[in-house]
Structure 1
Amino acid sequence: MKPVLSVQDLAGGYSEVDILKGISLEVMPGEIVTIAGTNGAGKSTVIKAIMGLLPRSRGTVMLGDTDLATLSVEDRLDCGIGYVPQVANVFASLSVHENLLVVQGVKKPRERADAMYALFPALAGHRRRAAGSLSGGERQQLAFARALMRQPDTLLLDEPTAALSPARVDEILDYVRVLPASGTTVLMVEQRARQSLAISQRGYIIDQGRVAMQGAARDLLNDPKAADLFLGKHSEQT
């Protein structure tokens, strides 16, 4: 089976100093894959580099048979990749409904919006509310809905549970869990590594810009080295 997303020897970062020092990973069709690691390890940098938001010094990023190297962020979205950033992921001054309708490149946007309300019922009663007035969990649902409006084959999530209450964390991860059943493969960066790996098929643990460990999610959860050094023995936070 061919990977949906393949990253090989990816290096790059925010300045002349490479934060990523040769990252390689693959995501297969129908998988949820978690990227975990300590704060500052380069987890979110991987996602941003895949999306073309940061410069790279070497390496390849393939989405199926498409080399993303020369494509803009907008063109990458057109290729079937979706992205939910950690912050600034909704338009706070627009209503919930306007947030969905302004997504570009959507066929029959009103029908897609109705489908999102069916998927995220909490949003249906807030169609006219400004996105900035929603709770943290509701805003994150709206961010998911915006990304799913274009029906991406692959969805990149950058810390989807950041700053949420424990109850909302479970809610968001439940949404992630069912995405592959609707045809969307997921690559997720998550601080709550244990909870994220629990709904994943595989995982990569990054340390100082390199892949330190990789494997089946259940194996990483049970590995003492991963637990001690990267996942946290007594906390869901890494």
Structure 2
Amino acid sequence: MSILTIRGLRGGYSEVDILNGIDLDLDDGEILTVAGTNGAGKSTLAKAIVGLLPRSSGTISFMGKDIMPLSAEARMGLGMGYVPQVANVFANLSILENLQVVAGSSRQRIDELFETFPLLAERRRMRAGSLSGGERQQLAFARALVPKPRLMLLDEPTAALSPNKVADSFALIRRLPSLGVSVLIVEQRARQSLAISNRGCILDSGLVALEGDAKTLLADEKAAELYLGNIGASH
């Protein structure tokens, strides 16, 4: 069953479209990687889905509901979680305070997340700004999981990580469907991301150039030559 259905999605930040008519589906319980070269429209697509793109047209349905007229806040309220590439935690607050801001008085939910992220539990009093890149990414994921979303959109989740932490991040993402969360990842490390995904989508100039089973895309010589050759090797 499709949890996210996109048809004819166009949009951008000024009069020029960055997205030029995207059709895309994400099934419930699935991990989908969106890859492509710089400027292909990957992060713009994520922003359009969560309602942060200033100008967009087409249709986006989430769990069968048309969400195009809805604000970003309303979309989050329906069960979307979003982890942007930057500014994804409150640096001046502790780990615990970052979660409390989202959870309100729900101590039970925070305790559940500390079980999922034991490292955060150990360091709950530490200020988020003092965390390593990998620890901060864990906190960003935990914050997004507080409202129990059905869909998580991750924008370049490994961009700020040291190479030895990248595998940890992908291992964490791979666990999300077991928590009841479908995942759409925008990622430059395309090969590694596809390796943990069910399906992949490659954008080129704001259009879907290739789409299909992740393993098939990894084995596709055309995809490798045009889109996957150096993606992920430069970070």
Q: Which TM-score tier does this pair reach, normalised by the shorter chain?
A: over 0.9
| Structure 1: segments with no counterpart, 5+ residues | none
| Structure 2: segments with no counterpart, 5+ residues | none
Q: How many residues align?
A: 235
SS at match of 2:6: strand
- CA–CA distance in structure 1, aligned partners of residues 198 and 14 of structure 2: 33
The Cα shift of 1:14 comes to 1.1
SS at match of 1:4: strand
**Which residue is equivalent to 2:21?**
22
**Which residue is equivalent to 2:53?**
54
**Which residue is equivalent to 2:151?**
154
Q: 1:200 aligns with which of 186, 197, 201?
A: 197
Does residue 1:175 correspond to 2:178, yes or no?
A: no
- CA–CA distance in structure 2, aligned partners of residues 192 and 3 of structure 1: 25
Q: Residues 142, 90 of structure 1: CA spacing in aligned structure 2 closer, same or farther, 3 A cutoff?
A: same
**Which residue is equivalent to 2:81?**
82
- CA–CA distance in structure 1, aligned partners of residues 133 and 173 of structure 2: 16
Q: For 1:89-128, what aligned pairs fall within 5 Å after superposition?
A: 89-103=88-102, 106=103, 109-128=106-125
Q: Confirm or deny: 8 A CA contact 1:205 1:214 kept in the other structure.
A: yes
Amino acid at match of 2:182: T
Q: Confirm or deny: 8 A CA contact 1:195 1:236 kept in the other structure.
A: no
Q: Confirm or deny: 8 A CA contact 1:193 1:236 kept in the other structure.
A: no
- CA–CA distance in structure 1, aligned partners of residues 24 and 232 of structure 2: 26
RMSD across aligned positions (CA)? 1.5
Does residue 1:138 correspond to 2:135, yes or no?
A: yes
Q: Confirm or deny: 8 A CA contact 2:188 2:231 kept in the other structure.
A: no
- CA–CA distance in structure 1, aligned partners of residues 41 and 71 of structure 2: 22
- After superposition, the C-alpha distances for 1:50-107 in whole angstroms (9 at most, x for unaligned) are 111013342111101211111111111110111111100000001110000001xx48
How high is the TM-score relative to the length of structure 2?
Answer: 0.96
How high is the TM-score relative to the length of structure 1?
Answer: 0.95
Q: Confirm or deny: 8 A CA contact 2:188 2:232 kept in the other structure.
A: no
Moved segments of 4+, more than 4 Å: none
